[in-house]
Amino acid sequence: MVAKEQAPHMTMQIGEVAKRASLTVDAIRFYERRRLLPTPSRTAGRFRLYTEDAIERLQFIQQMQGLGFSLKEVGELSKLRERKADACESVKKLLETKLADVRSKLAHLRQLESELATDLRRCGSELNHRRRSSPCPCPVLEEATVGGRQ
């Protein structure tokens, strides 16, 4: 139990933090510049010193980015995280906004999928036509140049 109490006070340099958080040193410095990671204390030789808290925060940042949150949103979530129980309503609103955004992107991707499938069928038809008679211009490219699609 004593080791657990001492662990948060143990410090490590940026290379060790990068290794443990599976990040590059440059990524950690980037997060510091964006104020997503508190400015670390430094040794007399100006080396950055981090605690386990920094690794936990970096893992949180990565997890939130993996869920599609922007760095600005990750910053908001980090601030809310510090408020603990008081943050629930704000977090809920952020999640609802992100979910609506994801659903909108999915609808757009489904439309794109449909258009690509249609164009692929048209190409297949034209290639079959070419086997039987003289070739025509590619219908997909012709439609795009005439202004049929944007």
Residues 128-150: pLDDT tens digits?
A: 877 788 777 887 887 765 555 55
Separation between Cα atoms, residue 134 and residue 148, nearest integer Å: 24
pLDDT greater than 90 at residue 35: yes
Choosing among 3.40.50.1950, 3.40.190.170, 3.30.1330.50, 1.10.1660.10, the CATH entry for 1-66 is: 1.10.1660.10
Separation between Cα atoms, residue 31 and residue 46, nearest integer Å: 18
How many residues are present in the chain? 150
Residues 4-17: pLDDT tens digits?
A: 444 457 899 999 99
Q: What are the structural domain ranges in the chain?
A: 1-66, 88-150
pTM (two decimals): 0.69
Task: Check residue 54 and give its pLDDT.
Answer: 94
Among 93-97, 123-127, 143-147, name the most confident range: 93-97
